[in-house]
A and B are shown apart, each in its own frame.
Chain A
Amino acid sequence: MKNNITQVTLKNGMKVMLKEIHTAPIISSWIWYKVGSRDEPTGKTGISHWTEHMMFKGTKKFPNGILDKAISRDGGRWNASTSKDSTRYFETMPADKIDLALRLEADRMQNTIITEKEVASERTVIISEREGSENEPTFQLSEAVQHAAFRVHSYHHEIIGDKADLLTITRDDLYNHYKTYYVPNNAILSIAGDFDTKDMLKKIKALYEKIPKGKTPPRLARPEPEQKGEVRLSVEGPGETAFTQIAYHFPNATHADYFPLQVMESLLNGASGLSYKTARLYRALVDKEFAVDVSGWSESSIDPGLYRITITHRPDKTPEQALAVFDEEIKKIQTELISNDEITRAVKQAKAVFAYGSENITHQAFWMGYVSMFADYTWYTNYVKNLAKVTPQDVQRVAQKYLQASNRVVGVYVPKGMGK
């Protein structure tokens, strides 16, 4: 056991991560498949997420309508989600009921039934999910920015997929996707909570080790070439409120610049999970009345992703005026060294956010699996330590390197009702 966790690889290649936590009679179990929207070629966008929906349609042993009832009856909570890099399923259950979740996931890794009828009915559900998102101006803008930022890499489309593909993906496409990626050697099981590691491992081996290994699925990887100049775009739609999204290409989560960038981000737009009213961009844009809000985030991804800042504009200021103020702040962090106190502050913020996370077992099982998609678990356990190593010079260097206009896409949502 290292870092309080036990990591084992089963004979069929499935990786298991276990962390005992005895603070509440709860266990959270997550299964991660290394497949996400980045693995989808043109014509099949959205298929990972759609397959995730089909995984709830049942197996012979747990027919449709039985699965959800079985989990709910035991007081469990379960769900699934698809990201660019992974598809994951979780159950958080009273500790003495976790066997059901383990059996269920082992079964649906191999035996999910995907029928034409269910596919037809789910097609409209997923289109409805997309249409709900399309109602939001920020979704429209974000989708356009992402498309513009990734011309080559498959991070270019939204996880939900393009409507054209949602209309044409077939039952066989979904089944092939399922059979290709849902193999034990492409899966990670991460479990945290009130169990005994030895007993848990025995149960897992009994259920999962007999599942035959599959062909190792390839990952789609087409590196995005360097951007050769700033890209600007606009999206028009209903409403009265304008938004700007600025997206910079950022390195992946295991890159040496990752931690300096995290400190830089916490200065510019606040620490993740906390309020951000003293962040530099908020002070410059909102306090000085150029915008009503400004928020930012970057994704910890396998391949280089994006750092996005979204500005919600005031009706009495133009997007250009706000962008000019934004650019002054960027220039400042590139030219003026930050203080050591600002780094100490970022470290303390991260410590607090980790402490809040440790109250929640589902959260802890999530992080074990999440990190394992792109790094070793020590990435997580050393996070605060690595943040503390960052120097003011590091922050200045990465700000100069990544926050270049030629490395960004600037998109504006132009409301048709503006000025009315």
Chain B
Amino acid sequence: MAKTNFKLAKSSYPSAKDVYQAKLSNGITVLARSNFNSPSVSMGGYLPAGAIFESDEKLGLADFVSSALMRGTQTKTFDQIYNELESVGASMGFDSGVNNTNFGGRALVEDLPLLLKLFSESLQTPTFPSDEVERLRAQALTGLALRAQDTSEMADIEFEKILYQDHPYSRPSDGYVETIQSITRDDMTEFHRLHFGPRGLVIAIVGAIQPKRAVEEVEKFFGAWQVAGQKEAQALPSTKQIKKTIKTHHVIAEKSQSDLVMGTFAPTRKSDDYMAASLGNSVLGQFGMMGRIGNVVREKSGLAYYAYSSLNSGIGPGSWEVNAGVNPANLNKAIDLIEKELKKFVKQGVTKNELADSQANYIGRLPLSLESNGGVVSAILNIHRYDLGMDYYQRYESLVRNVTRDDVVDVARKYIDPDRLVISTAGP
């Protein structure tokens, strides 16, 4: 067998030429791309029905609704839905974030119509049966009891609460015990009626199917969906600045390890600052074995099994944070080391070699992230969600290469002030 002559970059990446886009008459956007290397198909998508629409008293409602969509529809029970899915080795699921309700699934290509039918019924005609709602409530409450014992999750929740103050991003999308207890079946039905509809719905399909046929299949199951009075997507408010470093500790007794989250705001995904911030973050806490942070906290000091930074950029203001899990006795030592690294990062930026390394990594790893159908689904959904342009992957290499050391230090200074951080820890 001869080696295939791949043009490594560009030609094999998703582009306007091979991602078929269609808009159905009811407003649904369909994105499709074929891949005949495996007899399977992946799909994913989202619609603007997120936690942003919830009141503080009903926190967790969007999430509760999305977890109940497959618990019964006008034609099928929970057990029937899952029996059809699991019998053919297919899977699907929903979850909610602040802005959107997201969904995803996969199947053998012969079962795509089945998958689409179940998606369509779950989205359009869920019935929220009372007994199923109560079962889900019990599961959600157990989930919250486990969350209360999880050092990483609790440090994160407290971090977001302080960083985002009264912004919708300050609230955990799985709610609190009292809010989950207060949600009624009527709340769920009403939320579904107001926010679930074809407007703003995006569906991406990638796999062993011709794109046009994929669109026809979507049209068949979703084309007739109309919802009068579906609410418009809501704009996000702005955030308030952090005036000085704020430290908080959440006590969870009898834990062997504490978790820490420290950081500040990040640019949105669409911002011109994004690529420079992302490459800077790679140097700071990703590249190689978790970048500079990993090198100092794990390699040199042996303080943690994991210590890294991440840039969480999305539709609204993201967070730029450092996470680590350390022995409770070493918490302050780890915080000091990380603070020093942040100061150095803001003062000196990155070296020429560091930047070149991360740039090479970003360009080189692209084929890996686009290998599976699921990887391509999320890539083309991101292009659409953040309005990056269908030629994004064709431009990607130059976007990465054009970032300079000055760009990195500028965004570092713009977003990170080492004297104005949120430092959240959880543990004994």
B-contacting residues of A (Cβ < 8 Å)? 20, 22-26, 56, 64-65, 68-69, 71-77, 92, 94-97, 120-132, 134-135, 137, 194-197, 199, 237-241, 270-271, 274-279, 283, 286-287, 289, 292-293, 312, 314-316, 345, 348-353, 355-356, 358-361
Q: Nearest chain-A residue to B328 (Cβ)?
A: A131
Query: What are the 10 closest A-B residue pairs judged by CB atoms, nearest first?
Result: A75-B364, A352-B89, A68-B288, A121-B302, A131-B256, A124-B302, A129-B305, A75-B365, A25-B6, A349-B89
Chain B residues closer than 8 Å to A95, beta-carbon distance: 6
Indicate if B357 sits at the interface (CB-CB under 8 A): yes
Extra contacts besides A68-B288, A240-B148 (13): CB < 8 Å: A24-B12, A24-B37, A25-B8, A92-B368, A132-B256, A241-B149, A279-B86, A287-B79, A292-B138, A292-B139, A315-B142, A352-B88, A359-B373
Q: How far is the CA of A237 from the CA of B78 in the complex (A)?
A: 35
Contact residues of B: prevailing secondary structure:
mixed
Whether the Cβ atoms of A25 and B367 lie closer than 8 Å is: yes
Q: How far is the CB of A283 from chain B (nearest CB, A)?
A: 7
Cβ contact of B138, chosen from A137, A314, A361, cutoff 8 A: A314
Indicate if B420 sits at the interface (CB-CB under 8 A): no
Chain A binder among B220-228, B292-300, B411-419: B292-300
Chain B residues closer than 8 Å to A241, beta-carbon distance: 142, 145-146, 149
Chain B residues closer than 8 Å to A361, beta-carbon distance: 371
Whether the Cβ atoms of B299 and A121 lie closer than 8 Å is: yes
Q: How far is the CA of A239 from the CA of B1 in the complex (A)?
A: 58
Q: Nearest chain-B residue to A134 (Cβ)?
A: B256
Whether the Cβ atoms of B257 and A131 lie closer than 8 Å is: yes
Q: How far is the CA of A229 from the CA of B303 in the complex (A)?
A: 44
Cβ contact of A123, chosen from B1, B302, B326, B362, cutoff 8 A: B302
Q: Nearest chain-B residue to A275 (Cβ)?
A: B91
Cβ contact of B364, chosen from A24, A73, A127, cutoff 8 A: A73
Given A121-B300, A289-B135, residue A73 in contact with residue B371 (CB < 8 A): no
Whether the Cβ atoms of A348 and B87 lie closer than 8 Å is: yes
Whether the Cβ atoms of B363 and A75 lie closer than 8 Å is: yes
Whether the Cβ atoms of B371 and A24 lie closer than 8 Å is: yes
Q: How far is the CA of A279 from the CA of B85 in the complex (A)?
A: 12
Q: Nearest chain-A residue to B257 (Cβ)?
A: A131
Q: How far is the CA of A100 from the CA of B395 in the complex (A)?
A: 28
Chain A residues closer than 8 Å to B301, beta-carbon distance: 121
Q: Nearest chain-A residue to B297 (Cβ)?
A: A125
Q: How far is the CA of A397 from the CA of B91 in the complex (A)?
A: 31
Q: How far is the CA of A349 from the CA of B91 in the complex (A)?
A: 11
Q: How far is the CA of A123 from the CA of B298 in the complex (A)?
A: 11
Whether the Cβ atoms of A278 and B363 lie closer than 8 Å is: no
Indicate if B399 sits at the interface (CB-CB under 8 A): no
Given A95-B6, A131-B257, A355-B38, residue A287 in contact with residue B135 (CB < 8 A): yes
Cβ contact of A94, chosen from B8, B106, B142, B305, cutoff 8 A: B8
Given A129-B305, A353-B89, residue A278 in contact with residue B83 (CB < 8 A): yes
Q: How far is the CA of A97 from the CA of B360 in the complex (A)?
A: 12
Whether the Cβ atoms of B6 and A20 lie closer than 8 Å is: no
Cβ contact of A135, chosen from B78, B257, B364, cutoff 8 A: B257
Q: Nearest chain-B residue to A347 (Cβ)?
A: B89
Whether the Cβ atoms of B86 and A349 lie closer than 8 Å is: yes
Q: How far is the CA of A351 from the CA of B90 in the complex (A)?
A: 11
Q: How far is the CB of B331 from chain A (nearest CB, A)?
A: 12
Whether the Cβ atoms of A135 and B256 lie closer than 8 Å is: yes
Bitwise interface map of B from 1 to 13 toward A, beta carbon under 8 Å scored 1, else 0: 1111010100010
Whether the Cβ atoms of B287 and A72 lie closer than 8 Å is: yes
Indicate if B284 sits at the interface (CB-CB under 8 A): no
Indicate if B108 sits at the interface (CB-CB under 8 A): yes
Cβ contact of B361, chosen from A72, A196, A274, cutoff 8 A: A72
Q: How far is the CB of B402 from chain A (nearest CB, A)?
A: 18
Q: How far is the CB of A289 from chain B (nearest CB, A)?
A: 6
Q: Nearest chain-A residue to B364 (Cβ)?
A: A75
Whether the Cβ atoms of B371 and A96 lie closer than 8 Å is: no
Q: How far is the CA of A76 from the CA of B106 in the complex (A)?
A: 27
Indicate if B82 sits at the interface (CB-CB under 8 A): yes
Query: Which of B61-118 touch A at CB < 8 Å?
Result: 78-79, 82-83, 85-91, 93, 106-108
Given A73-B361, A73-B364, A121-B302, residue A278 in contact with residue B253 (CB < 8 A): no
Write 14 A-B pairs (CB below 8 A) sorted by A numbering: A20-B1, A24-B6, A69-B287, A72-B361, A237-B254, A240-B148, A241-B142, A275-B93, A277-B86, A292-B139, A349-B88, A356-B38, A358-B38, A359-B37
Q: How far is the CA of A293 from the CA of B87 in the complex (A)?
A: 20
Whether the Cβ atoms of B303 and A75 lie closer than 8 Å is: no
Bitwise interface map of B from 239 to 264 toward A, beta carbon under 8 Å scored 1, else 0: 00000000000001111110000000
Whether the Cβ atoms of A125 and B372 lie closer than 8 Å is: no
Given A75-B364, A132-B305, residue A96 in contact with residue B327 (CB < 8 A): no
Whether the Cβ atoms of B252 and A196 lie closer than 8 Å is: no
Whether the Cβ atoms of B360 and A289 lie closer than 8 Å is: no
Q: How far is the CB of B43 from chain A (nearest CB, A)?
A: 13
Chain A residues closer than 8 Å to B300, beta-carbon distance: 121
Indicate if B40 sits at the interface (CB-CB under 8 A): yes
Whether the Cβ atoms of B40 and A75 lie closer than 8 Å is: no
Cβ contact of B85, chosen from A26, A72, A275, cutoff 8 A: A275
Indicate if B151 sits at the interface (CB-CB under 8 A): yes
Q: How far is the CA of A400 from the CA of B168 in the complex (A)?
A: 55
Q: How far is the CB of B113 from chain A (nearest CB, A)?
A: 15
Chain A residues closer than 8 Å to B93, beta-carbon distance: 275
Q: How far is the CB of B294 from chain A (nearest CB, A)?
A: 9
Q: How far is the CA of A276 from the CA of B82 in the complex (A)?
A: 8
Whether the Cβ atoms of B139 and A26 lie closer than 8 Å is: no
Q: How far is the CA of A393 from the CA of B287 in the complex (A)?
A: 54
Given A24-B367, A97-B364, residue A238 in contact with residue B3 (CB < 8 A): no
Q: How far is the CA of A241 from the CA of B149 in the complex (A)?
A: 10
Chain B residues closer than 8 Å to A68, beta-carbon distance: 288-289
Indicate if B304 sits at the interface (CB-CB under 8 A): yes
